[in-house]
Structure 1
Amino acid sequence: MQASEQWSSKIGFILSAAGSAIGIGAIWKLPYVTGISGGGAFFLLFILFSLFMGLPLLLAEFVIGRSTQKEAISAYRSLAPNSSWHWIGRIGVFTCFLLLSFYSVIGGWIVIYFAKGLFGGIISEGADYSSVFNATIENPVLVVAAQFVFLAITVAVVAKGVQNGIERASKILMPALFILFILLIIRSLTLDNAMEGVKFFLAPDFSNITPQSILFAMGQAFFSLSVGVSVMVTYSSYLSKKESLIQPAISIVSMNLLIALLAGLAIFPAVFSLGLEPTEGPGLLFVVLPAVFDQIIFGEAFLLAFLALFLFATLTSAFSMLEIIVASVLKGKAEKRIKYACIVGVLIFVVGVPSALSYSVFADILIFSKNLFDSADYLVSNILMPLGVFLISIFVTNKIKKSTLREELLKHSRLGASVFEIWFFIMRFIIPLVIIIVFLNMTGILDKIANAF
């Protein structure tokens, strides 16, 4: 059954998919993970993983979705009937569900800061913004209420469908985000000692790299591009068969890397200039932004505008996660979209409440020394997403005819067969091998094997 909805244009698809990819992954998560994982060396690994694993995987998910014109679970079932391969789609739906449950918590934090900004309640002379952030996330009623508001907005947009909801919002919000980022970077780079932050972010120091940080870099690349969870299978199922797949994939990866670069250039010069620690953690962005805008004329207004766009960028990612879940339930029955969007939204909210309370009521509950929020993040980014990537790479190169892959990938493209062969080699051999090596390294098994010889 062909997808009942489609993007109105290629640019609408690119901006919507880029919005899914950019969101919190590049703006919130990348700076703080870079800060705790070695700076420039980590960022270089992130770029390499994005280009040589993220881009091929993005194309693989595009091929699966566009060729079948079906949402994730049905797409795998269509390509491999009477088999268990559809569980790749199910794992992706579950991962998106879990991801959105804690992602909405961060969205709630942004809602709180945006509401404070409306009433001029963020920036104040001599304020300890780290303490302000901690006090915010330790308020159980406030964070749960804000999480609910964030999810309510997400549900409202997804309930409107692909063109009228997701695509329309992305066309306006993504370009505006770029403009404000440039303004923030200009100010950040003109602060005293700003170049130390640039050096930390862009000058690789591989002495800080550990097996854990390599895993984090790979997980961050997957997280930032929304690959491994079949989000892009569902999004590409709405793409016309008259469009090329390669150009949108390159555009999405390029935009994602650009935003990641802009985020780092906005955050780290300010971190070093203001004497903050780059290892601040999840609250890094919420501590640095008010401190930077505090140094700018009309800083409160600029901060409010940036928070608005940060909220919108976060929402575009949330739209994609909720969409894959709703689409898997709808199976083309568009008339039930509103009902299922609401039901799924409520369930995600309930599951996400423990993550929202990880810094207050449930602060003493730890799983392998991580609170509930960090545990959910680790499970999604460093286990479920790489697992999904591994399974997708095996599926695409073994369960779909090579001739079908070649035709779908090169359709409406000027690229030759050699490009396809390189892509196929990466998907079939390089990606599975890299994921296996990284996991063996992380668990210490690789060291034991090396010592045995």
Structure 2
Amino acid sequence: MSNRDQFASKIGFILAAAGSAIGLGAIWKFPYMAGTNGGSVFILLFILCTLVIGLPILVAEFMIGRRGQSDAVTSFKKQAPGTRWYFTGWAGFIFSSIILSFYSVVGGWILSYIVRAVAFKLTGSSQDYYGELFNSITQNPWEVVIAQGAFLFLTVWIVQGGVKNGIEKASKWMMPLLFVFFIVLVVRSLTLDGAMEGIKFMFVPDWSYLTGKTLLMALGQAFFSLSVGVAAMMTYASYLSKEEKIGSSAMNVAWLNIGISLLAGLVIFPAVFALGYSPDQGPGLVFIILPAVFQQIPFGALFMIIFFILLLFATVTSAIAMLEIVVATAMGPKYDKRKQYSWLCGLGIFIIGIPSALSFGVLSDIQIFNRSIFDFADFLTNSIGMPIGALLVAIFAGYKISRADAASELDTKSWIFTTWHILVRFVAPIAIIIVFIQGIFFK
């Protein structure tokens, strides 16, 4: 065990785990989900679902990972010897690989926008201009594949440095910068004429949106944004020393995730309303609407550069968590071979991701169950992989690990532990099954 890397500090672990959670889910997906589901009511339900259902699963992943002190597969083998629970670890390995394969495509789009923004080539001010630009980028086979490769290169470069000198170091400077950039953009957004409409949209409830559909969307977003169900948090927690409190770390990660999601809303919605756009633009909100918004405000080009760098940081911190699961599992106990495994796994994921990168252009005619390759990979992981993974984690933590062992590992007040145990044994599994059914049959 002595030559296995560990996080050097609790804050390093929290920032890395929060970075895993705070990615495209918080900055790209949360605003458009809130925008298409009524704003304030969705946000309220999202916070509730994160704390009541997402947080207990997060604690469970932390507990399993820290108890195992190994990659996810080995962790399950150690804690449930002679059983097939270790397949849960392999599922995390497979689904993380698929997530990163299409996630890196979006990371590539962000790099394409940054290059154009820095060269001051994002000069249009209309929604149509940015819609055409987005289509031209995503349909250019050379650009999307090269940009995807560049994004993965950056991700591998960080992961191959190890936990302490790679992941922790990168998270310690990227995450604070993320907050600083966000505060700058929030201040700019809130000082626009008409920004108050966006504030109302976020914080004054329209109870007509309090429906089963909105609740399910909020629940799905809570799972997606916390990175639970694919062994990411389990893998990070395996590098955590036994002295650290799991519960408080998980709570910090959950609140940081909620905070960043709200800040993303405060950047986007006041600006969107102030300039007369509709908030229900869907996935194109960040790549099509926001650039048009930025170009209509003083120093907009500068703020656009800041926004896309911020988006890149958030995407990279999530990507390194996904790659770390794959590398840790492939590497096993060969800790001295981290560099070789990092580059090999990165190359493999790059190759797997090429069809997703090309699915908006040359491979756009290929459909899998009426979905593009990119959308199918997204559906497979978010609607099937993550819910199943989260359900297995809840069952393992709630039923396979004894109550006494769980209480000893979590080391918290008895009423807090009892509440967590009830939520992870009964409430979370039911909620996950509902999300799973909804994701499969009602989309």
TM-score, normalized by length of structure 2?
A: 0.94
2:409: which partner in 1? 408
CA offset digits 1:357-394 (Å, max 9, x no partner) = 22212223334443222222222122211111111111
CA offset digits 1:134-179 (Å, max 9, x no partner) = 2222222111110010001111111111111111111111111111
1:449: which partner in 2? none
Alignment of 1:115-130 (within 5 A): 115-125=115-125, 128-130=129-131
Cα distance in 2 between the residues matched to 1:370 and 1:207: 31
1:201: which partner in 2? 202
2:52: which partner in 1? 52
Q: Does the 8 A contact of 1:99 with 1:376 survive in 2?
A: yes
Cα distance in 2 between the residues matched to 1:271 and 1:297: 15
Structure 1 counterpart SS, 2:286:
helix
Q: How much does 1:208 deviate?
A: 4.2
Range with greater deviation from structure 2 (6-15 or 285-294): 285-294
2:24: which partner in 1? 24
Cα distance in 1 between the residues matched to 2:148 and 2:241: 35
2:12: which partner in 1? 12
Q: Does the 8 A contact of 1:12 with 1:167 survive in 2?
A: yes
Range with greater deviation from structure 2 (377-386 or 394-403): 377-386
CA offset digits 1:213-251 (Å, max 9, x no partner) = 544322221121111111111101111111111121111
Cα distance in 1 between the residues matched to 2:111 and 2:378: 20
334 and 131 in structure 1: CA distance in 2 versus 1, 3 angstrom threshold: same
2:39 is the alignment partner of 1:42: no
- AA paired with 1:433? I
Cα distance in 2 between the residues matched to 1:193 and 1:19: 32
Range with greater deviation from structure 2 (31-40 or 177-186): 31-40
1:150: which partner in 2? 151
Q: Does the 8 A contact of 1:99 with 1:377 survive in 2?
A: yes
2:350 is the alignment partner of 1:378: no
2:77: which partner in 1? 77
1:164: which partner in 2? 165
Q: How much does 1:126 deviate?
A: 5.4
- AA paired with 1:27? I
1:250: which partner in 2? 251
Structure 2 counterpart SS, 1:366:
coil
2:344 is the alignment partner of 1:359: no
Structure 2 counterpart SS, 1:352:
helix
- AA paired with 2:120? G
253 and 77 in structure 1: CA distance in 2 versus 1, 3 angstrom threshold: same
1:424: which partner in 2? 421
CA offset digits 1:263-321 (Å, max 9, x no partner) = 01111222223333333232211223323332444332332233223212211110000
Alignment of 1:59-70 (within 5 A): 59-70=59-70
State percent identity of aligned pairs: 50
Cα distance in 2 between the residues matched to 1:283 and 1:176: 25
Range with greater deviation from structure 2 (341-350 or 144-153): 341-350
Q: Does the 8 A contact of 2:387 with 2:436 survive in 1?
A: no
Alignment of 1:10-409 (within 5 A): 10-125=10-125, 128-205=129-206, 207-208=208-209, 213-409=214-410
Cα distance in 1 between the residues matched to 2:2 and 2:386: 27
Q: Does the 8 A contact of 1:270 with 1:288 survive in 2?
A: no
Structure 2 counterpart SS, 1:370:
coil
Q: Does the 8 A contact of 1:215 with 1:438 survive in 2?
A: yes
Cα distance in 2 between the residues matched to 1:433 and 1:52: 12
Cα distance in 2 between the residues matched to 1:9 and 1:421: 28
66 and 287 in structure 1: CA distance in 2 versus 1, 3 angstrom threshold: same
- AA paired with 1:400? I
RMSD: 2.1
- AA paired with 1:431? A
2 and 211 in structure 1: CA distance in 2 versus 1, 3 angstrom threshold: farther
TM-score, normalized by length of structure 1?
A: 0.92
8 and 61 in structure 1: CA distance in 2 versus 1, 3 angstrom threshold: same
Q: Does the 8 A contact of 2:272 with 2:290 survive in 1?
A: no
Q: Does the 8 A contact of 2:384 with 2:440 survive in 1?
A: no
Cα distance in 1 between the residues matched to 2:105 and 2:205: 32
- AA paired with 1:194? A
Structure 2 counterpart SS, 1:186:
helix
Q: Does the 8 A contact of 1:214 with 1:438 survive in 2?
A: no
Cα distance in 2 between the residues matched to 1:126 and 1:278: 16
